[in-house]
Amino acid sequence: MGSFSITHWLILLVVVVVVFGTTKLKNAGKDLGGAVKGFKEAVKDEETSRARNNRSLDHENSTPVSNNGSNTQVGAQADDTEISPVTTDDQQKV
């Protein structure tokens, strides 16, 4: 009731080859290998695109320091928020 011995595995292999045939087993092996290869390529492409996106986001968020010591933001994008000018009615009287 323990694990199979080498003779059990050989008998099982012969039965599988007889039942399915070598052609079907070869096609199944090709299909499985192609699926694994496609999965690995998809994971690699996803990692590459994620790294590229992170690199571009890191570059956009960087704020270089100018020569005079103040932080200047190069290539900053404006918000869609609209700022209206303050009129004299909105100002508080001091």
pLDDT tens, residue by residue, 14-73? 999 999 898 998 999 999 999 999 999 999 999 888 888 877 666 566 555 555 555 555
**Would residue 25 count as lying in a domain?**
yes
Please tell me the total count of domains within the chain: 1
Given pLDDT bands bounded at 50, 70 and 90, which one contains residue 93? low
Contact 74, 59 (CB under 8 A): no
**Would residue 44 count as lying in a domain?**
yes
Structure tokens at 75: 């290539």
Question: How far is 19 from 14, CA to CA, in rounded Å?
Answer: 9
Report which of 53, 71, 70 is spatially closest to residue 62, judged by C-alpha positions: 71
Domain containing 49 equals: 21-54
- Kindly give, in sequence order, each residue whose CB lies less than 8 Å from that of residue 65, ignoring residues fewer than 6 positions away: 71, 72
**Would residue 81 count as lying in a domain?**
no
pLDDT at res. 85:
61
Question: How far is 30 from 16, CA to CA, in rounded Å?
Answer: 17
